[in-house]
Amino acid sequence: MPSIDLTGKAAVVTGSGRGLGLAYAHALAAHGASVVVNDVDEAVAEAAVKSITEAGGTAVAEVVPVGTTEAAERLVNRAVEEFGRLDILVTNAGILRDKVLWKMTDEDFDAVITTHLKGTFTCARAAAVRMREQGEGGSLILVGSPAGQRGNFGQTNYAAAKAGIAAFARTWSMELGRANITVNAIVPVAATAMTETIPAFAPYIEAMKNGEPLPDFLRKGEGFGTPEDCAALVPFLASEAARGITGQAIGIGGDKVALWSHPQEIAAAYADGGWTPDTLAHVWPTSVGAELQSVGIPAPKFPEA
């Protein structure tokens, strides 16, 4: 089995002061990469850097909220100033402003779209410019969500942003392929501050905090585990072992890794000369209407008491 070695490579991980982002930063550093840690809280960012360096890794902090072009360029420039290059970008930064459609404000929508969607765009653009100038390829690892793949109640802004991020990965994989820059979306599922608010998961997460392992029906059946369980995918995708993988959406969590399908036509019907509302109503139930797809993240299958 080949060893994943990122020695000599430099990475930026947005939103890496805690949670999944911190796990990604630790995993990259553990495999030899030098890391720019990013957070909006200076104390949190510095604590993350300290934890990485104490574990034998190399890291510096850049405190800035992602979203703007200026913030993206600061992050890329910090990597170049500190480490002389940029090879890996992980766009993890995100916030939540959950509300149902009729209660969501413009501010709720704009804040989430700015951080997740525009932040991914501006950071990826700045990174792609640098990587193309270096001429040695690179890796863009975009962080998606099951909500972006299937939708989720109360998450108009978040689901839309994450769906857009999956589309970014497919589009940029084509645009950056000649530059040997891979682009993939990862779809992590883990016990974080976000998932702790889900009542069904809460008792298991609390037990995990007290040293108890998560049960197999969560780790395998639901693909649900710790942030560290999700982190292995990042150094793998940043390595030469994954050089042929691009444009994909890859899920990981607990003991499970999975490949998400791209949207595609699954049924079709035809009418000579085109369709009218009446012919659609007549044919629909026995043709494409028989293949309607479910929406939403499936509820966890908890064992019966």
158: annotated active-site residue: yes
Handedness of CA 50, 22, 253, 30 (dihedral sign): negative
| Contact criterion met (CB below 8 Å) for 170 and 262 | yes
Residue 198 in tokens: 């889900």
Residue 271 in tokens: 């009418």
* Strands (E) located in the chain: 10-13, 34-39, 58-63, 88-91, 138-143, 181-188, 249-253, 256-260
Instruction: Report the first-to-last Cα separation within the chain, whole angstroms.
Output: 42
Calpha distance 161→271 (Å, rounded): 36
Among 162, 173, 204, 239, the active-site one is 162
Helix (H/G/I), strand (E/B), else coil: 44: helix
Calpha distance 129→66 (Å, rounded): 17
Among 158, 173, 204, 239, the active-site one is 158
β-strand pairing of 249-253 with 181-188? parallel
Among 145, 173, 204, 239, the active-site one is 145
* Beta-carbon contacts of residue 215 (< 8 Å; ≥ 6 apart): 204, 303
294: annotated active-site residue: no
24: annotated active-site residue: no
The residues annotated as belonging to the active site are 145, 158, 162
